[in-house]
């Protein structure tokens, strides 16, 4: 059973119905590659299955005409994908869909304890977070810009799942979770340098 991620708040009719039946799902946030990785991987798989065939058809068409052969192939490709064992869950999606809960193996092997046995950073500890590639508070990132957030944040809460790294959410920070490797603890009584205004 997946748990609701409190960082992404969507309470539509489907979500309310799922909560009524005690069915929880962790939603990914837009623009966070880690949260979208499963969807991105499915898109890649679909492209691999569709477009090789489509391009072969288009090579025989007159210039400027495009094939929509992939539309006809969609049901058979989805059916084939649903009947192939996936490495993450170790079973066919067609079987997993019928189960009450599905255990997913960790997609990243960790050389440290994760989940319930992971040492959790205390609440309100001061941290900086690692910028995602190309991201910087308030603008475009340059090669000389820092890789850690300029502002210091406190940990508001943590989110733990078995066999998965703890996700930390920051008070007044980005609305997505961070794993431990993406946080830099700022020791207490750290004095920041004075800004030169001249």
Same domain, 142 and 89: no
What is the tens place of the pLDDT at every residue in 38-91? Answer: 778 888 888 888 777 777 788 888 888 888 877 888 899 889 999 999 888 889
- Provide the residue range defining the domain that includes 173: 115-185
Same domain, 119 and 86: no
Q: What is the CA radius of gyration of the chain?
A: 22
Do residues 50 and 76 make contact, with C-beta atoms less than 8 angstroms apart? no
Whole-number Cα distances in Å, 8 to 86, 121, 131, 158, 169? 27, 22, 19, 14, 11
CA nearest neighbour of 8 among 176, 123, 125, 172 = 176
Same domain, 89 and 143: no
pLDDT at 188: 84
What is the tens place of the pLDDT at every residue in 84-110? Answer: 998 888 899 999 989 888 877 766 677
Does residue 131 belong to any structural domain of this protein? yes
Does residue 190 belong to any structural domain of this protein? no
Does residue 110 belong to any structural domain of this protein? no
Do residues 2 and 164 make contact, with C-beta atoms less than 8 angstroms apart? no
- The total domain count for the chain is 2
Does residue 180 belong to any structural domain of this protein? yes
Same domain, 126 and 173: yes
Confidence class of residue 7 from pLDDT cuts 50, 70 and 90? very low
Query: In the 8-state DSSP scheme, what is residue 133?
Result: T
């Amino acid at each position: 059973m997946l748990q609701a991620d409190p960082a992404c708040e969507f309470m539509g009719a489907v979500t309310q119905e799922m909560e009524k039946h005690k069915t929880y799902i962790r939603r990914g946030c837009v623009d966070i590659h880690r949260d979208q990785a499963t969807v991105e991987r499915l898109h890649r798989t679909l492209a691999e299955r569709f477009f090789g065939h489509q391009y072969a058809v288009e090579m025989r068409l007159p210039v400027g005409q495009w094939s929509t052969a992939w539309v006809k192939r969609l049901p058979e490709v989805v059916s084939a994908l649903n009947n192939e064992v996936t490495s993450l869950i170790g079973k066919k999606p067609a079987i997993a869909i019928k189960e009450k809960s599905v255990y997913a193996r960790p997609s990243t092997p960790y050389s440290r304890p994760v989940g319930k046995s992971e040492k959790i950073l205390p609440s309100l500890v001061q941290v900086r977070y690692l910028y995602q590639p190309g991201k910087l508070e308030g603008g475009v990132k340059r090669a000389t810009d820092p890789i850690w957030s300029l502002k210091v944040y406190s940990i508001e809460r943590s989110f733990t799942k078995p066999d998965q790294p703890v996700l930390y959410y920051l008070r007044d920070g980005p609305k997505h979770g961070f794993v431990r490797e993406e946080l830099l603890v700022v020791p207490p009584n750290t004095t920041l340098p004075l800004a030169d205004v001249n």
